[in-house]
Structure 1
Amino acid sequence: MAQIAAERSEPAAAAVANPAPLGLAAFALTTFVLSVVNAGLVSSNGINDVLGLAFFYGGLAQLLAGMWEFRNRNTLGATAFSTYGAFWLAFGFTVWQKLLVTGPILGWFMLAWGLITLLFFLSALRTDIALMAVLFFLFLTFVVLGIAEFSGNSVITNVAGWLGIVTALLAWYRSWAGILESGQGPFRLPVGPMA
């Protein structure tokens, strides 16, 4: 009887959707739009043109996806999405308030994010090739953005923009694969599972 009472008192774990496709899609779109600017494909005011995306899709949606990953007990997903959501919120806010200047300060900022991304990449080595590719290209993007800020060379910024575009495309691919994995699509996309 005590066992039956204990079983009844424990709430059944509710099935929840996988938040990773949302987090990856939010990351991809925000990264893509800013990277198009960095690559020099459009004339723009830089990050100012994507502040709405930075705050609400790249920032808030990723932060929410990270919190939902905690519910799914996915420590890597929870930490990465929450971290990159906070990145977009912090980056958008500092640009909006004109607190982040270009040059060495921004260079160190980008290199530090490159280091964080390298740690996430190393943590993802047993996940899948698609996710590892996203993190690897994001690492390269941050490092090249940091170098561009130190050098002041717009050609290096353009290279970083193209790396960011590749990163975004890979993130969209992994996001779509995650949606299809949920059984919502007629086929699956290969992601190259490592474990």
Structure 2
Amino acid sequence: MSTESTVTQIVIKDTSANPAPLGLLGFGTTTILLNLHNAGCYPLNSMIIGMGLFVGGIAQLIAGVQEFKKNNTFGATAFCAYGSFWLSLIVIWLLPKTGAGAALASDEKALAAYLFIWGLFTLFMFFGSLRLSRMLQVVFATLTVLFFLLAIGDYTGNAGIKTFAGYEGVVCGLSAFYGSVALVLNEVYGKTVLPLG
């Protein structure tokens, strides 16, 4: 009597869309708008808070969770981290405006520490981006510089540094916005419409 066994292999193909354009759009648009404020174009207002909460925060978190499904540790970490950054920044701005949170307002030194630790994290992510596209290298390089400039500006109280950081931050945001548009158009047309490097 012979016993034969059959092994069946099942391959699951991932057909879900690329979440990176959404994450880059969320990051890029909110970074541009916040840094236009930092450059002195307009005061901090509900437009920045709304964009930060929903586009910078929630949209990036959604993109990050989708990157986990794509087995992209770098993308998942980046989008979830920076989405959480935006949500935490909104809380830092709004909590002191409440009765219970008025005594918890962060001073400039605390904000400098907050921005410095984000700059340090971003520096390490920049090193990771060296294995990826030029577009991402530009995003992470300019974001590293932005966080450190803002940290120095808050620590020293130098308004000129924060204004300069605003202009540099617009460049950072535009590079991410470009990446989002490039990924979408390149996929739609099935060829390189906008190079990513």
TM-score w.r.t. length of structure 1? 0.89
Aligned to 2:94: 96
Aligned to 1:179: 184
Q: How high is the sequence identity, in percent, across the aligned residues?
A: 38
Give the whole-Å Cα distance in 1 for the aligned partners of 2:91 and 2:189: 36
Give the whole-Å Cα distance in 1 for the aligned partners of 2:112 and 2:138: 23
Aligned to 1:38: 38
1:2 aligns with 2:6: yes
Of 140, 154, 158, which aligns to 1:135?
Answer: 140
List alignment gaps of at least 5 residues for structure 1. none
Aligned to 1:168: 173
List alignment gaps of at least 5 residues for structure 2. 97-103
* 1:23-51 Cα deviation digits (max 9, x unpaired): 00000111111100000122x1x265511
* 1:121-166 Cα deviation digits (max 9, x unpaired): 0011110111100000000000000000011111111011011100
Give the whole-Å Cα distance in 1 for the aligned partners of 2:76 and 2:41: 33
Of 44, 48, 51, which aligns to 2:49?
Answer: 51
1:102 is displaced (CA, Å) by 3.5
Q: Which amino acid aligns with 1:155?
A: G
When the two chains are superposed, the root-mean-square deviation of aligned CA atoms in Å is 1.7
Aligned to 1:189: 194
Aligned to 1:64: 62
Aligned pairs, how many? 186
Q: Which amino acid aligns with 1:173?
A: Y
* 1:39-81 Cα deviation digits (max 9, x unpaired): 0122x1x265511111111000000100000111111000000
TM-score w.r.t. length of structure 2? 0.88
Of stretches 57-66 and 95-104 in structure 1, the one that deviates more from structure 2 is 95-104
Secondary structure of the 1:14 match is coil
